[in-house]
Chain A
Amino acid sequence: MNLLPSLYIILPLLGAFLIPVIGHFIKGFQKAFSSSILLFLVIYTVWYYVAGNGENYIVNIGGWEAYEGIPIAIYLVFDGLSSFLLLTINLIGFLSVFYALSYMRAYTAENNFYSLFCLMVGGMNGVVLSGDIFNIYVFLEISVIASYALVAFGTEKRELEASFKYQVLGGIASLLILFAAGMLYWQTGTLNLADISRVLKEHSHTFPLLFTEVMLITGFGLKAAMIPFHAWLPDAHSSAPSPISSMLSGVLIKAVGIYALLRLFFNIFALSYEISMVITTLGAISMVLGVILAIGQWDLKRLLAYHSISQMGYVVIGLGIGMMIIFRQGNETVAALAITGGLFHLINHAVFKGLLFLNAGAIEFMTGTRDLKKMGGLAQKMPLTATTSLGASFAISGIPPFNGFFSKLLIIIAAIQGNFFLLAALAVFVNFVTLGSFMKFHRYAFQNAPEPKMKFIAPKLPFSMKFSMITMLILCVLMSLILLPPVRETLLDPAVEALMNLNDYAIIITGIQI
Chain B
Amino acid sequence: MTVYIMTFILFLVGLYGVLTRRNMIKIVIGFSIMEFSIFLFIALTGYINNGIAPIIMAGEEEPVYVDPLPQAMVLTAIVIGLATTAMLLAIAIRIYKKYGTFDIRKVNELKG
Write the residues of chain A forming the contact surface with B, with a CB cutoff of 8 angstroms.
134, 137-138, 141, 145, 148-149, 152, 155-158, 160-165, 167-168, 171-172, 174-175, 178-179, 181-182, 185-186, 191, 234-235, 238-239, 296-297, 299, 302
Is the CB–CB distance between B84 and A167 below 8 Å? yes
Tell whether, in the assembled complex, residue B92 and residue A164 are in contact, meaning their CB atoms are under 8 Å apart. Answer: yes
A299 to B109, CA, bound (A): 13
In the complex, what residues of B have CB within 8 A of residue A302's CB?
112
Check B12 for interface membership: any CB of A closer than 8 A: no
Which residue of chain B has the shortest Cβ distance to A297 in the bound complex? Answer: B112
Given known A167-B91, A297-B112, contact A182–B70 (CB-CB < 8 A): yes
Which A residues lie within 8 Å of B109 (CB)?
Answer: 157-158, 161
A164 to B91, CA, bound (A): 7
Are B77 and A178 within 8 A (Cβ)?
yes
Known contacts A134-B76, A138-B76, A155-B94; 18 further A-B pairs (Cβ under 8 A): A141-B83, A145-B84, A148-B87, A156-B98, A157-B98, A158-B110, A161-B110, A164-B88, A164-B107, A172-B34, A175-B35, A175-B38, A179-B38, A182-B42, A182-B45, A185-B45, A238-B110, A297-B112
Tell me, in angstroms, the Cα distance from A468 to B87 when the chains sit together.
32
Check A186/B45 contact, CB under 8 A, given A161-B109, A171-B88: yes
Once bound together, how far apart are the Cα atoms of A167 and B76, in whole Å?
A: 19
Q: What residues of chain A lie closer than 8 Å to B80, measured between beta carbons? A: 138, 141, 145
In Å, the complex CA distance between A239 and B94 comes to: 16
Known: A182-B41, A185-B45. A235 touches B110 (CB 8 A): yes
Sample of 8 A–B contacts (CB below 8 Å): A149-B87, A155-B94, A161-B107, A161-B108, A168-B31, A172-B34, A175-B34, A191-B73
Q: Given contacts A141-B84, A149-B87, are A182 and B38 in contact (CB under 8 A)?
A: yes
Q: Which residues of the other chain, A, contact B99 by a CB distance below 8 angstroms?
A: 157
A171 adjacent to B84 (CB under 8 Å): yes
**Which of A168, A185, A235 is B69 in contact with, Cβ under 8 Å?**
A185
**6 smallest A-B Cβ distances: which pairs?**
A182-B42, A186-B45, A235-B110, A141-B80, A160-B95, A157-B98
Find the A residue at minimum CB distance from B45. Answer: A186
Residues in A with CB closer than 8 Å to B112 are 234, 296-297, 299, 302
Does B10 touch A at the CB level, under 8 Å? no
| Shortest Cβ distance from B88 into A: residue | A167
| B15 cross-chain contacts in A, Cβ below 8 A | 172
Answer whether A171 and B31 are a contact pair too, CB < 8 Å, given A161-B109, A163-B91, A164-B88.
yes
Contact with A along B72-112 (1 / 0, CB 8 A): 01001100100110011001101100110000000111101
Give min CB distance, A187 to chain B, whole Å: 9
Specify which chain A residues have a CB less than 8 angstroms from the CB of B95 in the assembled complex: 160-161, 164
CB of B18 within 8 Å of the partner chain: yes
Residue in B73, B87, B92, B110 whose beta carbon sits within 8 Å of that of A162 in the complex: B110
Residue numbers in A under 8 Å from B18 (CB-CB): 168, 172
Cα A137 to Cα B73 in complex, Å, equals 11
Kindly provide the distance from the CB of A249 to the nearest chain B CB, expressed in whole angstroms. Answer: 17
B66 within 8 A of A: no
Q: Is the CB of A178 within 8 A of B38?
A: yes
Nearest-neighbour CB distance to chain A for B42, whole angstroms, equals 4
CA of A168 to CA of B88 in the docked complex: distance in angstroms?
8
0/1 interface trace, chain B 1-26, chain A, CB 8 Å (1 if under): 00000000001000100100000100
Are A145 and B110 neighbours in the complex by a CB distance under 8 Å?
Answer: no
Query: What are the residues of chain B within 8 A of A141 when measuring CB–CB?
Result: 80, 83-84
Cross-chain contact B73 with A160 (CB below 8 angstroms): no
Beta-carbon nearest neighbor of A174 in chain B: B84
Pairwise interchain contact A168-B27, C-beta atoms closer than 8 A: yes
Residues of chain B lying within 8 A (CB to CB) of residue A152 = 91, 94
Given contacts A179-B41, A182-B42, contact A160 B91 (CB under 8 A): yes
User: Closest residue of chain A to B96, judged by CB?
Assistant: A160
- Given A172-B18, A182-B41, do A134 and B91 touch, yes or no (CB 8 Å)? no
Given contacts A161-B107, A171-B84, contact A185 B42 (CB under 8 A): yes
- CB-CB under 8 A from A185, the residues of chain B are 42, 45, 69-70, 73
With a CB–CB cut-off of 8 A, which chain A residues contact B94? 152, 155, 160
A168 to B31, CA, bound (A): 8
Considering the chains assembled together, what is the distance between the CA atoms of A152 and B88 in angstroms? Answer: 11
Q: Pick the most buried of A158, A171, A174, A238: most chain B CB atoms within 10 A of its CB.
A: A171
Max chain A CB contacts within 10 Å: which of B15, B18, B110?
A: B110
Q: Which residues does chain A contribute within 8 Å of B110, judged by CB atoms?
A: 158, 161-162, 165, 235, 238-239
CA distance A157 to B80 in the complex (A): 27
A163 surroundings in chain B (CB, below 8 A): 91
Most buried by A among B35, B91, B108: B91
Residues of B within 8 A of A191 (CB): 69, 73
Measured in the bound complex, the distance between the Cα atoms of B110 and A175 in whole Å is: 26
A134 to B75, CA, bound (A): 12
Contacts of B41 in A (CB 8 A): 179, 182
Most buried by A among B45, B77, B108: B77
Residues of A within 8 A of B108 (CB): 161
B11 / chain A contacts, CB cutoff of 8 Å:
179
Residue ID in chain B nearest A302 by CB atoms: B112
Give chain B nearest CB distance to A322 CB in angstroms.
Answer: 33
Closest residue of chain A to B38 (Cβ to Cβ) is A179
Complex Cα distance, B87 from A163, in Å, reads 10
CB within 8 Å of A: which B31-65 residues: 31, 34-35, 38, 41-42, 45
